[in-house]
Structure 1
Amino acid sequence: MTKTTLVLGASLKTNRYSNIAINRLVQANHSVVAFGLTEGKVNGVQIDTELLPYEDVDTVTLYLSPKHQKAYYDYILSLNPKRVIFNPGTENPEFYKILRENNIQFEVACTLVLLATEQY
């Protein structure tokens, strides 16, 4: 079984990078869970609108601007992921510090590029 990725800020809109990321993660046979403001499915992945206590989340990939991330700090920490990916536009030094203090790795990177270059 592959490690689970949470796409935080998932969108049903096919032109959004979070949507593309879900599709590419599924194509690469990664286990994916997703949270967004609108419920629906992307390539068989349910976008939840409630913060669920997902288990064994390895990676959280962020598609939320820094000002919207603050509301999710405690939630992300509660999942105890191994890493958090800050996609372009989501960079957040305040959250980097919190993650460091909680021994959670983070990367300022693009999930799509990591997948395309087999570095995910």
Structure 2
Amino acid sequence: MRNKKTVVLGASTKPERYAFKAITQLVEKGHSVIAIGQNKGEVAGISIYTKNIPLKNIDTITLYLNPLRQKEYYNYIIETKPRRVIFNPGTENPEFYQLLAGNGIKSEVACTLVLLATNQY
């Protein structure tokens, strides 16, 4: 299995949140994780950044932000040039799919947790 450097955008320290579960699962499966969220904290040994940090060589950005909250990250995500952006349930955003496609970035409407559980990540 290849380590896929992943950014979890919308990270949370609340165990009931899917972003929290995704960070935990990604770490367990051996992926490098960068977490960005509204509040500082730590999940599975990963510190949560509260501001956009410079990113390089990112395979995947997995979104846990509703479409309205995504807008402020459009340029940041495009400039990061990930291979793909995963839109988890509730984050679907056709406007953003088009922007990403125009910049050569793949959009995937999927659930990170399901992809990990079925070894399709």
Task: Give the structure-1-normalised TM-score.
Answer: 0.98
Instruction: Extract unaligned runs of 5+ from structure 1.
Output: none
- Deviation per residue, 1:44-65 (Å, 9 max, x gap): 1110001001211110000000
Instruction: Please tell me whether residue 99 in structure 1 is matched to residue 100 in structure 2.
Output: yes
Task: Give the structure-2-normalised TM-score.
Answer: 0.97
Report the aligned-residue RMSD.
Answer: 0.8
Asked if the contact 1:3/1:56 (under 8 Å) is kept, the reply is no
Please give the alpha-carbon distance, in whole angstroms, between the structure 2 residues aligned to 1:56 and 1:50. 19
Write the letter of the residue equivalent to 1:88.
P
Q: Report how many residues are paired.
A: 120
Instruction: Please tell me whether residue 7 in structure 1 is matched to residue 41 in structure 2.
Output: no
SS in 2 for 1:77: helix
Structure 1 runs (4+) greater than 6 angstroms displaced: none
Please give the alpha-carbon distance, in whole angstroms, between the structure 2 residues aligned to 1:67 and 1:86. 13
Please give the alpha-carbon distance, in whole angstroms, between the structure 2 residues aligned to 1:100 and 1:56. 18
Write the letter of the residue equivalent to 2:81.
N
